[in-house]
Amino acid sequence: MADIFSIGVSALQTFSRQLETTGHNIANVQTPGFSRQQVELNPLAHIGGRGAGVEIGNIQRIFDGIATDQMREAASSQAEFQTYGSVLEGMESVLSESSSGFNFAVNDFFDAINDLANDPVSGSARQIVLSKGEELVNRFELLSGHLLQEENSLNQQVISTVDQINTLATDIANINGAILLASGQGAEPSDLLDERDRKLHELSQLIRIRVTDQGDGTLNVFTGSGQVLALGQRSFSLGTQQGQFGQNSLDITYAGISIITSQLEGGELGGLLRAGQEAIGPELSELGRIAMALVDTVNALHNQGLDFQGALGGDFFSRPEIQAKQLASNTGSLSLSIDVVDLGALQATDYQIAVNASSQLLITRMSDGATTNLGSGAGPFSFDGLLITLDSGTADPGDRFLIQPGRDMANGLKMLLVDPDQVAAAAVISGSAGINNRGNGNLSSVRVTDVANAAFTTTAGALTPPLAIRFIDGSSYELLDNTNPLAPLVLETAIPYSAGGDLFPTPGGIDHGYQAQISGAPQGGDIFSFAYNSNGVGDNQNALALAGLSSSSILEGGSESFLGAYNNMLAELGNRVFSAENNLGVFTALYNQAESRRDSVSGVNLDEEASNLLRFQQAYEAAAQVIRIADSLFDTLLNAVGNR
Amino acid sequence: MRISNQQFIKSALVAIQDQSAQLAITQTQLATGMRLTKPSDDPSASVKSAGIRQFLSQLEQFDRNTDAAAGHLALQDGLLSSLSDLLLKARNSVIQAQNGINDTSALAGLREELTQNLDQIINLANTQDSNGEYFFAGSKSLTQPFFRDGTGQYQYAGDSYERELALSKQRRITTGISGEQLFMRLETGQNGLESNHNPANTGTGLVGETLVDNPALLTGDQYSINFTAADTYDITNLDTGALVASGVPFVQGGDILFDGVRLDLGGVPAAGDSFTSGPAQVQDIFTSIQGFIDSLVGQTMVTTDLANSANRTLENIDQAMERMVTEQARLGGKRVAVDDVRDANATMRLQFQTSLSEIEDLDYVEAASRLSQQSLALEAAQRALARVQNLSLFNFI
């Protein structure tokens, strides 16, 4: 009879625990990451098999390890593309055609020059060229400023993400310790396990992780590339530092020493790093490349023109020089200087130069990682349109340099012209056919090739000496010093003439820094003379040539105009955003699927809990009846004994 | 399959969020009228549309250039017409001056007329546009091109430059005419040949047309025709000194023929008279007219000398008028070309705008029906969630 009591009591205790657990489940129906719990029941029996009631086993945590792993994996990718995509979308809206105003600024500038070509003496047309030039410089500065700002805020986010990663790694190590302690006491610490899973999940949203089970209840956590973040109860931290060449982009360090930036991926951190490497950096380089091309071509042409006052056109814009940064740890004394020699070959990327054991310079193009051995010569070396000159000093093996050609260009442009009269719209040289020429030879455009030639520099505002050519007959001519047109001096004679061929440099090597061609058939005695285009204010030849730059293909080996390159950059950015969105969709679907699987197993279903409540309540009441029956049996027995 | 409560809500939320996102896109499209609002909507189409917009922007500039060119050309056309009229007036004055009945006062009157006329021609040649630019100064367009220097010579301060404008990427057109071309670089005489009388002649020999009889025989040398008697002449090549012909009989009204040249000599030369014939020279129109004005000074009657000068002046004026006609024809051709380019640009713009619209403009009908479908779907998802939320066993306990 005492057995019936104890059986009843064991059942009562068990069912009340089951009701408690059901209540716990219901209470946590909205708790993220909560795994529903179930009470394990074991029947009790005496030796010999007679039943002795029920015993509470473990409070079991219903858990699907594979689904949880899948969720973490998908969460890493999802967070990566989410972060990456949103940074890029921000850039897209800043750089896009309609909001950046870049296209308008470039077009306006060249349109202003075109209008000047239509009306070269107009002071207002000149003024507009200046103000549009100023606007173009501002636009470059504004856009690159946006990108740099974006990069700085990205760096801030990287720093705070790394902090969060470190905090989570510490938390996980601590929970590992608590779980170890609890498991030692025999009970499965369900809620601690849930807590750790939540932390792991949060961590996987920040960076891709791998998790291994130690078998004693603790988990080890590694980055995707194998750096330990948590090992049992110990945690290890990541750090950030400025780029090793002193550049603006951050490096991630591990355990305070090794740089692991390039190894990390996944999660918010992966997305941030990727956005910096794949978008902001290249975009700055491209913007800078366009700026360089524009400045250099406009300057080169402008130098070959004549301004309103009759002076040679100076530089229109200025741009910063390309700097070679070096490691603080370089032991050699080599310093490099970098010039642009071929705009068409220029690429929108960074380069690293490393000195190997045999003192050869290895240059690596960062966009595709291709490395070229420049050898150990004295240089200068020409690579991708850059001229790399070894200025002074010697390099030691292991020294490294960073070249970021376009990076600081766009925000370092300046407009050099201050006076509208300084816009060089006219050609420097006016060529003319002698008034008594009998042939139908025509002097086609005269092109300046070198304004540093003594012909231009000896006396400002004049050619020294002015030249003329006089045809001896239809097939040969002589070159004259035309200082005194009445008695010209012969400089070189019997120069063979071929229609349309360059007149300079002559076979005798006379080169005065300009070229000209004659078309048609001149006759003996015909004279063509070249003079400085003094007062040639109505000449628009240089303005026409400058205006033509807007559509001329200068970049990418002569296949891309300034705006073409910009639009390609935008399209590539658009492509990246597009594929980031697609990837985000895919990984979100994967995540939802894994989460659904996890929830299906571990999530709380209120209907189920309601029916459990009813079941356990009934069972509880039944167990209470058992005790009541036992009690009444006991009373019956007592009464029987007492009546006697 | 077991379903947890969180699953219910999450999957419903995912559906609602998806629908809202789609709806938001359609809404933006309808609000902007654009199918593409940012490059990532369709990266390859965005490259195309950016390229087209670039073309359109260039076309806009080319339209401005075309307008500028058309304006320049129209103004020049007017100027050339006025110049032609003045030259014609001058020509008439010179013809009148040949009339034998002219007396001192008539010749003085004609001289006055021609002087006025020349002034007007020079004024027109020095015309400035609204910017103060001289039309016919070449590149030195702020310097007055034509003036008479201290020695009475007509000078040109401009150059032979003719301004070009860009009408399209490929097409440039010269919108300027240099004064050198128009007024200075003019041949004297006719057909590349010029014949003159000797002012000291005593006969009435009047040099008329000089024609090319046989181009193959032309030497480009200077010849002298010397009358040894009233009806006989010798011809000497002055460059070689060779006697080309001697003792040739002169027939009144007949031509003089030598080395491919046919010279029409009218009147009656006297013995000892001489004439020259040779390649044409280059002389500006102002000097030509001024020369005739000068030869009218103090004239009391129409002499043979004056009649000969008049003939030469007429030849020079004709050369200038022919130059005007040629340049006007060129100008007309250019104006047609400008119009053609303008039309071509307009056609091109229309084409580009059409393709741009095809790429980025929204199909409103399609978008509107999409909008109603999407809002329906969203509403359904929302209702479903609300309905499912109410289902719970607890309602029945």
Q: Measured between CA atoms, how close is B141 to chain A, in angstroms?
A: 5
Contacts with B394 from chain A: Cβ below 8 Å: 606, 610
**Residue B59: closest CA among chain A residues belongs to which residue?**
A111
What is the rounded average pLDDT for all residues in chain A? 90
Choose from A599, A613, A616, A617 for mutation: most chain B CBs within 10 A. A599
* pLDDT tens column, A567-608: 999 999 999 999 999 999 999 999 999 999 999 999 999 999
- Lookup: tokens for B333: 């051709």
Q: Measured between CA atoms, how close is B41 to chain A, in angstroms?
A: 7
Q: How many residues does this entry show for chain A?
A: 644
Per the CB < 8 A criterion, the answer to whether B223 and B258 are in contact is yes
Q: Do B6 and A603 touch (CB under 8 A)?
A: yes
Q: Measured between CA atoms, how close is B170 to chain A, in angstroms?
A: 10
Question: Angle CA(A538)–CA(A541)–CA(A546) in degrees, nearest 5?
Answer: 125
Distance of alpha carbon A587 from alpha carbon A602, whole angstroms: 22
Q: Do A432 and B159 touch (CB under 8 A)?
A: yes
* pLDDT tens column, A323-346: 999 998 889 899 999 999 999 999
Contacts with A81 from chain B: Cβ below 8 Å: none
Contacts with A605 from chain B: Cβ below 8 Å: 2-5
At A60, is the pLDDT very low, low, confident or very high (cuts 50, 70, 90)?
confident
Distance of alpha carbon A46 from alpha carbon B323, whole angstroms: 135
**What confidence score (pLDDT) does residue A499 get?**
81
SS (H, E, C) chain B: CCCCHHHHHHHHHHHHHHHHHHHHHHHHHHHHCECCCCHHHCHHHHHHHHHHHHHHHHHHHHHHHHHHHHHHHHHHHHHHHHHHHHHHHHHHHHHHHCCCCCCHHHHHHHHHHHHHHHHHHHHHHCCECCCCCECCCCCCCCCCCEEECCCCCEEECCCCCCCEEECCCCCEEECCCCHHHHHHCCECCECCEEEEECCCCCCCCEEEEEEECCHHHCCCCCEEEEEEECCEEEEEECCCCCEEEEEEECCCCCEEEECCEEEEEECCCCCCCEEEEEECCECCHHHHHHHHHHHCCCCCCCCHHHHHHHHHHHHHHHHHHHHHHHHHHHHHHHHHHHHHHHHHHHHHHHHHHHHHHHHHECCHHHHHHHHHHHHHHHHHHHHHHHHHHHCCHHHHC
At A47, is the pLDDT very low, low, confident or very high (cuts 50, 70, 90)?
confident
Q: Do B6 and A581 touch (CB under 8 A)?
A: no
Check the CA dihedral B227-B231-B236-B242 and report its sign. Answer: negative
Q: Do B64 and A603 touch (CB under 8 A)?
A: no
Distance of alpha carbon A363 from alpha carbon B272, whole angstroms: 94
DSSP state string for A506-563? -TT----SEE-BEES---TT-EEEEEE-TT-TT--HHHHHHHHGGGS--HHHHTB-HH
Tell me the one-letter amino acid at A527.
I
For A97, which of B50, B58, B134 is closest by C-beta distance?
B50
Task: Please report, rounded to a whole number, the percentage of residues in chain A having pLDDT higher than 90.
Answer: 61
Q: Measured between CA atoms, how close is A507 to chain B, in angstroms?
A: 28
Q: Do B61 and A29 touch (CB under 8 A)?
A: no
Q: Do B139 and A117 touch (CB under 8 A)?
A: no
Contacts with A538 from chain B: Cβ below 8 Å: 133-134, 137-142, 161, 163, 176
For B141, which of A121, A433, A577 is closest by C-beta distance?
A121
Q: Do A571 and B138 touch (CB under 8 A)?
A: no
* A543-554 mean pLDDT: 92
Q: Where are the beta strands (DSSP E) in A236-370?
A: 238-242, 250-254, 258-259, 305-306, 317-318, 324-326, 335-340, 351-355, 361-365
Q: To 10 degrees, what angle do helices A562-602 and A281-303 make?
A: 180
* A8-18 mean pLDDT: 91
Per the CB < 8 A criterion, the answer to whether A334 and A390 are in contact is yes
At A643, is the pLDDT very low, low, confident or very high (cuts 50, 70, 90)?
low
- The distance between the two most distant Cα atoms of chain A, rounded to a whole number of Å, is 167
ipTM of the complex: 0.86
For A93, which of B38, B58, B392 is closest by C-beta distance?
B38
Choose from B40, B65, B156 for mutation: most chain A CBs within 10 A. B40
Contacts with B393 from chain A: Cβ below 8 Å: 606-607, 610-611
b/e burial code for range B54-93 (CB count within 10 A of at least 16 → b): bbebbbebbbebbebbbebbeebbebbeebbebbebbbeb
Distance of alpha carbon A122 from alpha carbon B130, whole angstroms: 10
Choose from A108, A567, A608 for mutation: most chain B CBs within 10 A. A567
Contacts with A564 from chain B: Cβ below 8 Å: 51, 54
Q: Is B185 on the interface with A (CB under 8 A)?
A: yes
Q: Other CB atoms closer than 10 Å to residue B8's CB: what's the count?
A: 18
Q: Do A92 and B3 touch (CB under 8 A)?
A: no
Q: Do A592 and B133 touch (CB under 8 A)?
A: no
Check the CA dihedral A213-A217-A222-A226 and report its sign. Answer: negative
Q: Do A570 and B2 touch (CB under 8 A)?
A: no
Q: Do A92 and B139 touch (CB under 8 A)?
A: no
Q: Is B11 on the interface with A (CB under 8 A)?
A: yes
- Sheet with B261-266: strands ordered across: B206-212, B261-266, B255-258
- Lookup: tokens for A291: 């700026």
Q: Measured between CA atoms, how close is B11 to chain A, in angstroms?
A: 8
- Sheet with B243-249: strands ordered across: B193-197, B274-279, B223-229, B232-237, B243-249
Nearest CA-CA partner of B337 in B135, B162, B167: B167
Q: Do A96 and B172 touch (CB under 8 A)?
A: no
For residue A282, is the peptide bond before it cis, meaning its omega torsion is within 30 degrees of 0? no
At A292, is the pLDDT very low, low, confident or very high (cuts 50, 70, 90)?
very high
Q: Is B3 on the interface with A (CB under 8 A)?
A: yes
Tell me the one-letter amino acid at A389.
T
Q: Measured between CA atoms, how close is B43 to chain A, in angstroms?
A: 5
* pLDDT tens column, A88-126: 998 988 888 777 789 999 999 999 999 999 999 999 999
SS3 at position A608:
helix
Cα separation values, B249 from A309, B196, B231, Å:
66, 20, 6
Contacts with A117 from chain B: Cβ below 8 Å: 65, 165-166
Cα separation values, B359 from A33, A158, A255, B280, B388, Å:
47, 39, 53, 65, 43
Based on the number of CB atoms within 10 Å of its own CB, is A302 exposed (0-12), middle (13-18) or buried (19 or more)? buried
* A177-201 mean pLDDT: 87
For A430, which of B43, B159, B393 is closest by C-beta distance?
B159
Q: Do A600 and B4 touch (CB under 8 A)?
A: yes
Q: Where are the beta strands (DSSP E) in A73-159?
A: none
Say yes or no to pLDDT of A162 above 90: yes
- Lookup: tokens for B197: 């009388």
**What confidence score (pLDDT) does residue A644 get?**
53
| Long-range CB contacts for residues B214-220, cutoff 8 Å, separation at least 24 | B214/B260, B215/B260, B216/B260, B217/B259, B217/B260, B218/B259, B218/B260, B218/B261, B219/B259, B219/B260, B220/B278, B220/B279
Q: How far is CA A535 from the centre of its chain?
A: 51
* A607-625 mean pLDDT: 92
**What confidence score (pLDDT) does residue A2 get?**
66
**Residue B131: closest CA among chain A residues belongs to which residue?**
A122
* A32-57 mean pLDDT: 86
For A600, which of B7, B51, B169 is closest by C-beta distance?
B7
Q: Where are the beta strands (DSSP E) in A428-488?
A: 429-433, 442-443, 447-448, 467-473, 476-481
Distance of alpha carbon A459 from alpha carbon A332, whole angstroms: 47
Contacts with B41 from chain A: Cβ below 8 Å: 574, 578
- Lookup: tokens for B224: 């002298």
Based on the number of CB atoms within 10 Å of its own CB, is B300 exposed (0-12), middle (13-18) or buried (19 or more)? exposed
Whole-prediction pTM: 0.88
**Residue A425: closest CA among chain B residues belongs to which residue?**
B139
Distance of alpha carbon B215 from alpha carbon A329, whole angstroms: 87
Q: Do A610 and B392 touch (CB under 8 A)?
A: yes
Per the CB < 8 A criterion, the answer to whether A57 and A37 are in contact is no
- Rg of chain A in Å (alpha carbons): 41
Q: Do A435 and B46 touch (CB under 8 A)?
A: no
Q: Do A430 and B161 touch (CB under 8 A)?
A: yes
Q: Measured between CA atoms, how close is A334 to chain B, in angstroms?
A: 44
Say yes or no to pLDDT of A353 above 80: yes
Q: Is B335 on the interface with A (CB under 8 A)?
A: no
Q: Do A578 and B65 touch (CB under 8 A)?
A: no
Of residues A445 and A473, the one with the higher pLDDT is A473
Per the CB < 8 A criterion, the answer to whether B287 and B46 are in contact is no
Say yes or no to pLDDT of A518 above 70: yes
Residues of chain B with pLDDT under 50: none
Say yes or no to pLDDT of A191 above 90: no
- Rg of chain B in Å (alpha carbons): 41
Q: Measured between CA atoms, how close is B140 to chain A, in angstroms?
A: 4
Choose from A539, A579, A588, A595 for mutation: most chain B CBs within 10 A. A539
Q: Do B397 and A610 touch (CB under 8 A)?
A: yes
Q: Do B397 and A96 touch (CB under 8 A)?
A: no
At A73, is the pLDDT very low, low, confident or very high (cuts 50, 70, 90)?
very high
A211 bridge partner residues:
A221
Per the CB < 8 A criterion, the answer to whether A387 and A338 are in contact is yes
* A233-252 mean pLDDT: 90
Q: Is B139 on the interface with A (CB under 8 A)?
A: yes
